A and B are shown apart, each in its own frame.
Chain A
Amino acid sequence: MNLKSETDVASYVSDANADGRRLRIVGGGTRQSLGNPCKNEAVLSTTGLNGISLYEPGALTIVTASGTPLADIETALAAEGQRLPFEPMDHRGLLGSSGVPTIGGIVACNISGPARIQAGACRDSLIGVRFVDGTGTVIKNGGRVMKNVTGYDLVKLMAGSMGTLGVLTEVAFKVLPAPETSTTVIVKGLTDEQAITALSSALTAPYGVNGAAHISKDATTLIRVEGFEKSVAYRAAQLQTLLGPLGDTTIVNDDSLWQAVRDVEPFHATNTDVWRISVAPSHGPQVAAVLRQINDDIQVVYDWGGGLLWVSTPNDMDVRAALPRISGYAECLRGTAEKRVPQNAAIAKIEQGLRAKFDPKGILNAGIMG
């Protein structure tokens, strides 16, 4: 089925709703193994909804159809010296998928990257959506201006809803100037605990750190500052002074370091299970220690100053069961475990209530969020 417009999507979903036909919504198809397996009888592709409908560099805003490839958006922004603030991860390497990532998929999964620690997640830059709910009704929320509190913020609700509340057709973002330069301070030889302490002191210093990661295996700690050249040189030097007492520091200009963190490259060429765990940053090393006690063949990449752990484990290890009292959230990205489970009964009840309103027959990506 080749859906070219929002109207096409609305009538397709409306028919499916009438027939009780469950749909799997697919954009570029690079993140299909995120979430639990869906129950579906048909596939709805958004790739026919393609194109940037409005881009105003002077207002820092862009509006695009949901099936637009991310690369097209990034190219358009780069031509004006701007970029998406949230540095979306590319999942192809980690999930072994192929295809072209589309912006709708990024919004549906609320995908962000290392810059999330400073610039926020996809949901923080998203300022407007249009979508088709499970009955085929077209709904808009938010708009194209960055400050907007008119009515409920369904924009946030749609970000990360994995298609379960509606099929996104159009998304609008606040964008930011791309920095003139980007520099990384590297500290070598730290343990996990030392590294998280170092990242914390970098993030609590007044130097505008917008990347703070640690790769356990190589004992490599990375701290990024971006902006105008003079400012970046100053801040990098200050950070080097601050962190010097902790270990050997060097300053490099190498964006590939951050692509490796963003896309979790250390786990690409492996067959291990991969988990994504979100906790308060200072709890990161404890979480890793608990898992290592169960099996010491575990690798960890820390991002967000320690608040995001990418954990590679031997197959079928039950990470969730190992962390029963964790104040945070564990999601399985690669492996046989249930990918996502609701946080608790009270929240699950609200979520079910919302799904029942937006998709009464449960035809949109059924079961994907657990």
Chain B
Amino acid sequence: MEMPQPNTRVLNRKAHIVQRLQKILPESAVIFEEQEVRAYECDALTAYRCPPMIAVLPSSTAEVSAVLKICNEEGVPVVPRGSGTSLAGGALPTSDCVILGVARMNAVLETNYDDRYIRVQSGRTNLSVTGAVEQNDFFYAPDPSSQLACAIAGNVAMNSGGAHCLKYGVTTNNLLGVTMVMMDGEVVEIGGTYLDSAGLDLLGVICGSEGQLGVVTEATLRILRKPEGARPVLMGFDSNEVAGACVSDIIKAGVLPVAIEFMDKPCVEAVEDFAKAGYPEAEAVLIVEVEGSETEINDQLAKIKKIAMKHKPVELRESKSEEESAAIWAGRKAAFGAMGRISDYMCLDGTIPVSELPLVLRRIGEMSQKYGLKVANVFHAGDGNMHPLILFDANKPGDLELCEEFGAEVLKLCVEVGGCLTGEHGVGVEKRDLMLTQYNQKDLDAQMDVKDVFDPKWLLNAAKVFPLSSSDDRRAI
């Protein structure tokens, strides 16, 4: 992974910069000893590591503002970090950077059920946002698999999704406002507790900008009343094609389940060994979940089962109890962990038009043969967001590179059939160099123009998202 040359002028001034930061932050919030900054050397994309020059852990918007002001004056690159769960290397440091971690900022600032919002500091974890409102039967809808650990700051930066976004949308559809600190330290309020703002939709472009436009310190999130109940049904089919056709038919019939999850045979086998979820022996397994009252659930599931029967499922199992529902989901939720137990893997995140599912799965199978690396597929089928897991051996020289080559070919295929490189994980460093397969230089220039406006010196997370060759001139300023 190519990263920009570290700025030696900045590195030479480390002691001075540390001193300035120590003046505005408590002692424990400035980390600069070599062995201590190592804790921040990577995120969940562990293949790439680089200890930062300094890490800071501010506790308030004012402290974040003071930190950024100093970094801006000193010309120090800044990499914002939520909980460090990015699978795309979004929080990967450079050796000359200050890592700005928001983990200490995790308070709930305001909860308003009548107006259906919660305002939190951005270091709060996704699941604990729901945790703060569930005693009143409310929840925060976006539910990335890492929700136990991932921070709202990262969710906003990556515009995170989850299993239930077919019905509830992704982060951008559930974000009402942010407090953001600009690179020069200015604090701006964007959006708020109301739906439509004046002027340009800045909130829309900040969400998903991968920490390159500013540091979000507070977020106003839409909360929703929990449905009366939910129930999954598990279906097994004897080919990926048939399962894909079933998904398409369910959607066409006007039923909109909250989730449609797809697992292929290699994934199901790994999950069975690990989680003993009782999944059937089938080439492809679907989990379809619907919500509502008992009557509504029965009505919707009857419609779904009728459609599924036309595709001759080898198994169709409706949950009969809370325990059975939990068991059905346990397998899916354990999928990544189960794969991790048997092998190193790389998780891809391309999205494709749902209609291309059979073709893409077949081509991935062919590539698997070609590269000699196994693949397990597990993904959100309703919205076409795939998660092929390519298995490799990190200890075998050349295997990671082979795996990356394979991954790149899969992502290029996703773009070729009308999809995109990443559906919910973000570009980070991982897919940075593939951006020109989806966009041309002018498309990227338009995006980088936006960064120019927010961060004219390109100090914020600058080595991400855009191929270095595309951003060279701008970063040099």
Contacts and interface: CB of A to CB of B under 8 A. Distances in A.
B159 A149 contact: yes
A357 B114 contact: no
B369 interface: no
A280 B450 CA distance: 29
A344 to B, nearest CB: 8
Interface string B177-204: 0000000001011101111111111111
Q: Which 4 A-B pairs have the closest CB atoms?
A: A156-B204, A177-B254, A58-B248, A353-B453
B205 A156 contact: yes
A354 B186 contact: no
A180 B424 CA distance: 31
B418 interface: yes
B171 to A, nearest CB: 9
Contact of B200 (A120, A161, A281): A161
Contacts of A347: 188, 190, 198-199, 202
Contact of B199 (A145, A149, A351): A351
B113 to A, nearest CB: 6
Contact of B194 (A56, A157, A164, A307): A307
Nearest to B227: A206
A73 interface: no
A116 B173 CA distance: 11
Nearest to B220: A280
Given A151-B444, A153-B172, A234-B293, A278 B248 contact: no
Interface in A268-291: 278-282
Interface residues of B, number: 92
Contact of A156 (B172, B444, B466): B172
B232 interface: no
B114 A147 contact: no
Given A148-B423, A153-B159, A157-B201, A206 B194 contact: no
Interface string A129-141: 0000100011111
Interface stretch (B20-28, B71-79, B334-342, B378-386): B378-386
Interface in B417-444: 418-427, 431, 435, 438-439, 442-444
A56 B353 contact: yes
A124 B196 contact: no
Nearest to A330: B198
A154 B204 CA distance: 8
B228 interface: yes
A205 B225 CA distance: 6
A153 to B, nearest CB: 5
A244 interface: no
A256 interface: no
Nearest to B254: A177
A369 interface: yes
Contacts, number: 264
B114 to A, nearest CB: 5
Nearest to B256: A177
Nearest to B245: A58
A348 B200 CA distance: 9
Given A156-B201, A157-B204, A351-B199, A59 B384 contact: yes
Contacts of B422: 148-150
Nearest to B450: A152
B299 A231 contact: yes
Contacts of A351: 199-200, 202
A140 B443 contact: yes
A144 B418 contact: yes
A308 interface: yes
B352 interface: yes
Contacts of B421: 150
A208 B258 CA distance: 13
B344 interface: no
A178 interface: yes
Nearest to A56: B355
Interface stretch (A23-31, A213-221, A258-266, A335-343): A335-343
A230 interface: yes
B300 A138 contact: no
A354 B206 CA distance: 13
Contact of A280 (B170, B193, B252, B353): B193
Given A133-B446, A151-B465, A152-B209, A357 B296 contact: no
